[in-house]
Amino acid sequence: MVFDSKLTTYTVLDELSARGIDWLTLRQRGKRELERLAALDPSEWKSVRIDRAGRYRHPQLHEDVVSIKDIARPVRQIAVLNIGRDNPTLLITADTTTSAKNLFARYAERMLIENELSAYIKGFHLDALSSGLALNVDLDTTLTVIAGSLFRLFGR
């Protein structure tokens, strides 16, 4: 399960871990953690290539096992550099078998989908109706997203 870090808590993640459910989410960047990562030798970062469109296809990854308050078991942390941020992006997961590259690619794909949906929704003024009919705004937004996706599909 891939979570938005603002929509879950470490307590919920701990419950999922106890049930044997793998999860992946962002971790907040703490000052001490950023200092620790900055002190790492460059050889401790692994360069990978992510097969996707767009920029930032060559991130650097560093894996650790860390303890987090409210999560009983240690979790896997993946720090990611070279993706357009000044500081490393921190992913935490209970998944111990999937490669760090694949976990980051999965999270990056989720972010691309969110950004695309956000662009479609921002492009549609929620107070405006697409026609003279009094349609529900949720329906209008959904139809706009579908139409935009079809337009891009036909453009390929």
Mean pLDDT of 97-110: 88
How far is it, in rounded angstroms, from Cα 11 to Cα 70? 5
How far is it, in rounded angstroms, from Cα 26 to Cα 20? 19
Confidence of residue 112 (pLDDT cuts 50, 70, 90): low
Residues 83, 50 contacting (CB under 8 angstroms)? no
What pLDDT was estimated at residue 125?
54
CB atoms inside a 10 Å sphere around CB 71: 21
* pLDDT above 90: percentage of residues in the chain: 48
Q: Convert the pLDDT of each residue in 133-143 to its tens digit.
A: 455 557 777 88
> Which pTM does this prediction carry?
0.69
DSSP 2: B
Confidence of residue 15 (pLDDT cuts 50, 70, 90): very high
Residues 1, 22 contacting (CB under 8 angstroms)? yes
Locate all alpha helices (DSSP H) within 123-155, ordered by sequence: 137-155
What pLDDT was estimated at residue 148?
85
DSSP 129: -
Report which secondary-structure segment, H or E, holds 25: strand 24-27
Q: Which of 132, 24, 122, 40 is nearest to 88 (CA)?
A: 40
How far is it, in rounded angstroms, from Cα 98 to Cα 76? 11
What pLDDT was estimated at residue 139?
76
What pLDDT was estimated at residue 85?
85
Confidence of residue 103 (pLDDT cuts 50, 70, 90): very high
